[in-house]
Amino acid sequence: AIRRLFSYARPHIAALALALILTAGAVALTLYAPILIGRGVDLVAAPGGVGFDGLIPVLWALALAVAGASFFQWIASLLTGRVAYRPVEDLGLQLTGGLHTADALPGEGIEFYDTFLRGQVGHGNLETAIGIILGALSVFALSGIFGV
């Protein structure tokens, strides 16, 4: 069952790999921020007063590190969401025969489908499937990274 589940995620493996690389970059920048803060404290507490000439570049580096970590985390979350949702969408299209528009839906028209919660028509709860795929990908990705 797991192999079949990952067969739907395989076309999106590049996005998952990029998300892991970006996450590692975000962690590195997050860990670098306290080092920069320590350098700034050393410059402020230095004998002879505050070394503003050295403090300004440290503050710029700190701002860039925080902005870079935030940006990397944001892009990684977008990619992870893509890896979670796209296989479920592909599976849904496979199960429904590739219906892409509301006009192609069988039945009594779009009003019939408006009575259901999102994801409940035809093939079960999509949100649950997305959660299972995202959880499985996270567990396997983390176990590969940390050797658990």
The per-residue pLDDT for range 78-100, each reduced to its tens digit, is 998 888 888 777 777 776 665 55
Could you give the CA distance from residue 127 to residue 120 in angstroms, rounded to a whole number? 9
Residue 107 pLDDT: 52
Structure tokens at 50: 């505050």
CB 9 within 8 A of CB 87: yes
| Structure confidence at residue 32 as a pLDDT band (50, 70, 90) | very high
Contact 95, 123 (CB under 8 A): yes
From the list 30, 4, 1, 32, the residue with the least C-alpha distance to 91 is 4
The H or E element spanning position 57 is helix 52-95
The identity of residue 34, as a single letter, is P
